Amino acid sequence: MIATILLFILVFGVIVISHEFGHFLLAKANGIHVVEFSVGMGPTLFSFQKKETKYSIKLLPIGGACMFEGEDGLNAKEGEASPGAFPNASVWARISTVVAGPLFNFILAFIVSLIMVQFIVIQEPVITEVTQESAAQEAGLLPGDRIISLNGSKVYLYQEVSVFNQMNKGAEVTVVYERDGEKHSTVLTPRYDETYGRYMFGIVNNSYVELKGLDGLKYAWYEVRSGVITTYKSLAMLIQGKVARTEVAGPVGMANIVGDIYEETKDSPMDVFVNMLNIIMLLSVNLGILNLLPIPALDGGRLVFLLIELVRGKPVPPEKEGIIHFIGFVFFMILMVVVFFNDISNIFFSK
């Protein structure tokens, strides 16, 4: 239990600090005053002041904040025009400061992936075996075929084939593959396997890639790309109502997942290390993408107002923007409560 809590705090701490540090670094570079840099939410456990910035650690390890002077009226008195206030910075300075948070999440994901690929088995999407009487055999696929794309989406790693199959839920798939240097196309419909309880193509990959030279950079990029595509498709399925309640996890659910992975791999410190790296990469990509959505209170929502200012040549009245972001904030607080109870329900009543 203690190990799970510590790992959860470590994983979320790295992701949150990376995101907020992106905002912090660009704010400082643009001369914007940072009022508070905090990790966590809720009551403050520890804090100290350095120059104009308060640094704090809060009770709940599920978020963070980098608050700027003058942002949404923060520390901005009527008629006061501090040169370091957020609204007084140039529009491009504010855009770069807002974008820096999600950008640093993607940078973190790439760095973590670069470390991770040195320790994991990397498999390219090359078929080494085709199962008898399977969908793949019926579609004409053979050992040695390299899968190029699935339904038009390019594939660079074998794991992408597995993830695609899980999300496709048995629907027909157009497979483009390479055989003897020539591209071919076929259509297959995955078959449900009672033994494994899921739809399967009927292909096996027993090969792995040995990294040489700068290969790590390429495969780290492929890992991040795979995480981005998975996140994007998961969001699309969530919006379309194709994701079951039990498949949605918030902070409590993620803590439970971290605990389950730790219990399964605790006998091998290296497996624990690699799995935590993978979770950090995936969650960092998730946070980066979610924060770029054009929703009030998120970085993407703030970017919408900044882009409107760029087009109009003048900002949206601060009081109006503040109200919209406040509504977004209230919405997310309600959503957090709903997700919390969903996590509890999944943990105790769905097993």
Amino acid at 115: I
Report how far apart the first and last C-alpha atoms of the chain are (Å, whole number).
Answer: 19
Q: Which residues have CB under 8 Å from 65's CB, separation 6+?
A: 20, 36, 37, 38
Taking the C-alpha atoms of residue 278 and residue 288, their distance in angstroms, rounded to an integer, is: 15
Taking the C-alpha atoms of residue 272 and residue 258, their distance in angstroms, rounded to an integer, is: 10
In 189-239 the beta strands, taken as DSSP E runs, fall at: 191-193, 198-200, 203-204
Return the closest-CA partner of residue 200 out of 138, 257, 156.
138
In the residue annotation, 319 being an active-site residue is answered as no
Q: What value does the CA radius of gyration of the chain take, rounded to a whole number of Å?
A: 23
Whole-number Cα distances in Å, 113 to 216, 291, 301, 340: 9, 21, 29, 29
Return the closest-CA partner of residue 52 out of 83, 73, 78, 11.
83
Taking the C-alpha atoms of residue 94 and residue 79, their distance in angstroms, rounded to an integer, is: 21
Given 20, 69, 71, 321, the catalytic residue: 20
**Would you give the distance in Å from CA 181 to the centre of its chain?**
35
Taking the C-alpha atoms of residue 56 and residue 46, their distance in angstroms, rounded to an integer, is: 6
Q: Which residues have CB under 8 Å from 94's CB, separation 6+?
A: 30, 32, 86, 306
Burial class (CB in 10 A: 0-12, 13-18, 19+), 322: middle
Contact between 171 and 123 under an 8 Å Cβ cutoff? The reply is: no
Residue written as tokens 């940072």?
A: 34
Q: Which residues have CB under 8 Å from 25's CB, separation 6+?
A: 100, 104
Which residues are designated catalytic?
20
